[in-house]
Amino acid sequence: MTQVQFNLNMDDLKESVVNSNIDTVMKSMIVLVLNEYMEKERDDFLDVPHYQRSTQRNDYRNGYYERDMMFKVGRVTLRVPRTRSGEFSPSVFEKYQRCDQSFMLTMLEMVVNGVSTRKVKHVVQELCGETISHAFVSTLTKNWTRLSVNGLNVP
C-alpha cells in the first residue's frame, strides 16, 4: 500500500475555505492530493528518494509538465512528474486522457437516456462552468457504441 505524506498550512487552508466557494476548495484539494500521489509514484518507480544518490536507481527525475483534466467540479491543472527516459506513467489517468472517467460516463448516460448532444453540452456548461463541444459528446458516444458492438465490456 502506498503511503502519501504532505504538509498543510492550516492558516492558508482556513482562509481559502472561509473566503471562497466550495468548488474552488474541492478543486484545490483534488490538485493537492493528485500531485502528491503522482510524486510518490515517481519516487517509487525510481527506487530513490528525492535528493539522494544511488547506483541502483532506475531512472532520473526530469521535471514536470502540466495537464488539464476535467472533473465534475470543473477543469483543474495537474503538475505531472516525468522521468528522463519517459518510461514513467502515473496511474492517476491514462495516456492522453483529459476527462475523468465518471464525468464521461455521466455524459454517455445522458445521451443513452435520450438527451441530445447539444443539450448535454449546455448541461455540462451549467454544472461545471466549462465548455465542451457537442461534437466531443457525439464522438464519445460513437466510440462507446463501437466498443459495445465489438464485444468489449463497457460499463
- The pLDDT assigned to 16 comes to 67
Residues 94 and 99: their CA atoms lie apart, in Å, by 10
Which residues constitute the domain of residue 39?
A: 10-83
- The pLDDT assigned to 14 comes to 75
User: SS3 of 63, please?
Assistant: strand
For residue 114, give the C-alpha cell.
Answer: 435520450
Q: Which of 83, 109, 131 is the last residue of a domain?
A: 83
| 70/113 same-domain check | no
| 47/112 same-domain check | no
| 111/79 same-domain check | no
In a domain, 29, yes or no: yes
| 117/55 same-domain check | no
Q: Which strand (E) or helix (H) includes residue 9?
A: none
In a domain, 47, yes or no: yes
Q: Which strand (E) or helix (H) includes residue 67?
A: strand 61-71
Domain count across the chain: 2
Look up the pTM and report it: 0.63
In a domain, 89, yes or no: no
Residues 65 and 68: their CA atoms lie apart, in Å, by 10
| 14/52 same-domain check | yes
pLDDT in tens, the chain (155 residues): 567 676 777 777 777 667 767 777 788 888 999 999 999 999 888 888 778 887 787 788 889 999 988 877 778 899 999 999 988 888 888 776 777 777 778 888 888 888 887 888 888 777 777 777 878 778 877 777 665 554 544 44
- The pLDDT assigned to 18 comes to 72
Residues 60 and 85: their CA atoms lie apart, in Å, by 8
In a domain, 140, yes or no: yes
| 21/76 same-domain check | yes
- The pLDDT assigned to 152 comes to 47
In a domain, 64, yes or no: yes
| 139/109 same-domain check | yes
Name the DSSP letter for residue 82.
E
In a domain, 5, yes or no: no
How many angstroms separate the most distant Cα atoms in the chain?
59
In a domain, 2, yes or no: no
In a domain, 93, yes or no: no
